[in-house]
Amino acid sequence: MSLSQAQSIRLIAFDVDGIMTDGGLYLTDSGEEFKRFNSLDGHGLKMLKASGVELAIITGRTSRCVELRAHHLGISHLYQGVHDKLASMQKMLAQLDLPLDVAAFMGDDVMDLPVMLRVGLAISVPSAPQTVRDRAHYITERDGGHGAVREACELLMSAQGTLDAQLAPYLA
């Protein structure tokens, strides 16, 4: 990955299962689905948004808990039940008047590849299949649901020179 790829990113979209979560599907006896999110990831997303980068979620599954998580984090671009993630990304970017090369996508499976292959920065996790890792510009050290999103957020802020400003209130 070149530093200029991360410097130019104005929007990053995330898959959910395996990226924002550990990829496990938790179901109750009544069929209700729930997910485990990482609070460190959440604060990273808030700092990244405050630094001026737009945030989005594009996921193939539909879950009320993802809607709630997006709301709590202030993520207004939420696409659930999506089978063509590239089309959703292109539609959103057209609405925001942004080209694909200033967008990043963080995904972990083959259904993420159409969008990952076309954005300016494709990020994945160590547990992703080799096919996906081979096509990502950056592989996080941490796995999905265990700080990978925070790592990606800090990578972007560091490259864009905004990380210190986001950390400053906590270091004073």
Overall residue count recorded for the chain in this entry: 172
Q: Give the distance between the most distant pair of CA atoms in the chain.
A: 48
Q: How many CB atoms lie within 10 A of CB 127?
A: 17
Residue 23 lies in a domain: yes
79 located within any domain: yes
pTM exceeds 0.85, yes or no = yes
**Burial (Cβ within 10 Å: 0-12, 13-18, ≥19) of residue 106:** buried
- Output the domain CATH number for residue 127: 3.40.50.1000
- Residue 172 resides in a domain: no
Instruction: Please state the domain count of the chain.
Output: 1
Q: Are 91 and 100 in contact (CB under 8 A)?
A: no
**Domain assignment of residue 153, given as a range:** 3-164
The average pLDDT across 77-87 equals 97
Average pLDDT, the chain: 96
* pLDDT value at residue 2: 67
- The 3-state DSSP class for residue 115 equals helix
Does residue 170 form part of some domain?
Answer: no
Quote the pLDDT of residue 31. 86
Task: Tell me, yes or no, whether 64 lies in a domain.
Answer: yes
